[in-house]
A and B are shown apart, each in its own frame.
Chain A
Amino acid sequence: MPLFWLLLTLLAYLGSRWLYRRSGRYLLSPLILVPVLLLAVAIPLHTAYAEYARNTHWLMGVLGPVTVAFAVPIWQQRALLARHWPALLTGMVVGSSASIASSWGLAHLLALDTATSLSLVPRSITTPFAMPLAQDLGGVPELTAVFVMFTGVLGALFGGVLLRWLPLRTPLARGALFGVGAHGAGVSRAQEVGSEEGSVAGLVMVLTGLLNLCAAPLLALLL
């Protein structure tokens, strides 16, 4: 059945989205449940990635138009950006540098191979930006997508705990924590904390992705 994997992917996605909306349980969110379900079917069947991707890879092509759509939140939040750009820009530059340095440094410390280490470097930015960045750096874009997913899952969990421990008085800092640290999954968490935190996180997520992608030639020289 040629369209089996495409249909299963769509069904798993729609089912998990419905379940998550009804239950609100984090473990049932599509970010976790869909890959787990698909792997649970594919691994016993000894499916190779090429076989899975044959009829599903075009879905990844839609990530390009998603990048274009990011112009809407940037434009809508331009007043926020105009007012607070020094704090947000400093946070994004320092946060991204910390992300790249700690991913690369820890990967070397734990003796991971070069392709894996390079694929870890873009892990804290949103997937539509992280995959082309991995390509530019000589990593594996698909592996980067996996690392980005784990970053989102862990970041959304850590963020709530950190908010209790860190002395953050401004919604700007609380939003930036989620936007720079945990991209899309973080933005959803930030929206639960507050609407201002959510807007900041969404704006910062997109701008951090852009910033990292623009820094790609520099990073390629450094790494």
Chain B
Amino acid sequence: MNTALLKKTLRLLAEMAVIGALFLLGGKLAAWLGWPIPGGVMGLALLLLLFACGVLKPAMLQLGAGWLMAEMLLFFIPALMSLLDYGALVRDEGWRILLVIALSTLVVMVVTALTVEWVCRWSLHREP
């Protein structure tokens, strides 16, 4: 077996284990504090804290975090299959739902881009 590949795989698994542990710890912490925050968000905050204290460096988790984010689609495919139970909804409201999504997406994109552009130009204007 290729040792470089083996090393990379072990490293990927170790990094994902650290991220997974932070997720579980985040969930426990949120439950203990009684805060209505998902474990993932609490874990994200913990990880940012660890970066800020210098306990961990982003490079140490780059491989695992990169893999999780790159393959994210795989993890929500099962949710998409809920469509199997919504045949009636798709038939009765499908086109209206698509229309809402399409129009709203256009609105969001135009409004966001123009807002950011205006704030940028305005601040450039102020500081010569």
Chain A contact residues, CB within 8 Å of chain B: 9-10, 13, 30-31, 34-35, 38-39, 42-43, 47-50, 52-53, 56-57, 59-76, 84, 86-88, 90-92, 94-95, 98-99, 102-103, 106-107, 110-113, 116, 120, 123-124, 126-129, 131-132, 136, 140-143, 145-151, 154-155, 158-159, 162, 166-170, 172-174, 176-178, 180-182, 184, 210, 213, 216-217
Query: Smallest CB–CB gap between B73 and chain A, Å?
Result: 5
User: What's the least CB distance linking A187 to chain B, in Å?
Assistant: 9
**A65, B40: Cβ atoms under 8 Å?**
yes
Kindly list 7 other residue pairs between chains A and B, CB separation below 8 angstroms, not including A43-B84, A48-B84, A59-B75.
A69-B19, A91-B119, A103-B100, A143-B82, A170-B117, A174-B113, A217-B36
Q: How far is the CB of B109 from chain A (nearest CB, A)?
A: 4
Question: What is the interface residue range for chain B against chain A?
Answer: 35 or more
Q: Is the CB of A110 within 8 A of B69?
A: no
B78 interface contact, C-beta 8 A = yes
Q: Which 5 A-B pairs have the closest CB atoms?
A: A67-B40, A95-B112, A142-B82, A145-B79, A181-B109
Chain A residues near B2: list those with CB within 8 A.
none
CA distance A173 to B121 in the complex (A): 11
**Are B112 and A147 in contact, CB atoms less than 8 angstroms apart?**
no
Known: A86-B123, A107-B100. A166 touches B75 (CB 8 A): no
Contact B58 A72, beta carbon cutoff 8 Å:
yes
Is B32 close to A, CB under 8 A? no
Q: Are B99 and A106 in contact (CB under 8 A)?
A: yes
Q: Does chain A have a CB within 8 A of B33?
A: no
Most chain-B Cβ atoms within 10 A of its Cβ — which of A57, A72, A131, A178?
A72
Q: Could you tell me the dominant secondary structure of chain A's interface residues?
A: helix
The smallest C-beta distance from A190 to any residue of chain B, in angstroms, reads 11
**CB pair B112 A68 closer than 8 Å:** no
Cβ-defined contact, A112 with B97, below 8 A: yes
Contact yes or no, A34 B77, CB < 8 A: yes
B12 part of interface (Cβ distance < 8 Å): no
Contact of B105 among A65, A67, A154 (CB under 8 A): A154
| Cβ contact within 8 Å between A176 and B113 | yes
The verdict on B13 contacting chain A, using a C-beta distance below 8 Å, is no
Known: A59-B77, A155-B109, A173-B120. A76 touches B58 (CB 8 A): yes
